[in-house]
Amino acid sequence: IKLNPQHIKAYFRCAKAQAALHKWQLCVEVCEAGLKFEADNKEILKELTIAQEKLDVKRQEQKKIDAEKAKTMLQESKGKRALTKACDDRGVRLGECVYGGAVQGGQSQDAYIDDEAALHWPVLFLYDEFDQSDYFQDTHELATVQGCLDMLFDKESPPPEWDPERRYRADSVTIYIATNQSKELQKKVKKDQS
pLDDT by residue (tens digit) across 85-94? 888 888 887 7
> What is residue 126's predicted lDDT score, i.e. its pLDDT?
83
> What is residue 178's predicted lDDT score, i.e. its pLDDT?
74
DSSP states of the chain = --S-TT-HHHHHHHHHHHHHTT-HHHHHHHHHHHHTT-TT-HHHHHHHHHHHHHHHHHHHHHHHHHHHHHHHHHHHHHHHHHHHHHHHHHT---B--SSGGGSGGG-PPPPEE-TTS-EEEEEEEEEGGGTEEEEEEEEETT--HHHHHHHHT-TTSPPPTT-TT----TTT-------S-SPBPPPP-PPP--
Taking 70 as the pLDDT cut, the residues of the chain under it are 97-108, 185-194
> What is residue 97's predicted lDDT score, i.e. its pLDDT?
67
> What is residue 194's predicted lDDT score, i.e. its pLDDT?
47
> What is residue 5's predicted lDDT score, i.e. its pLDDT?
81
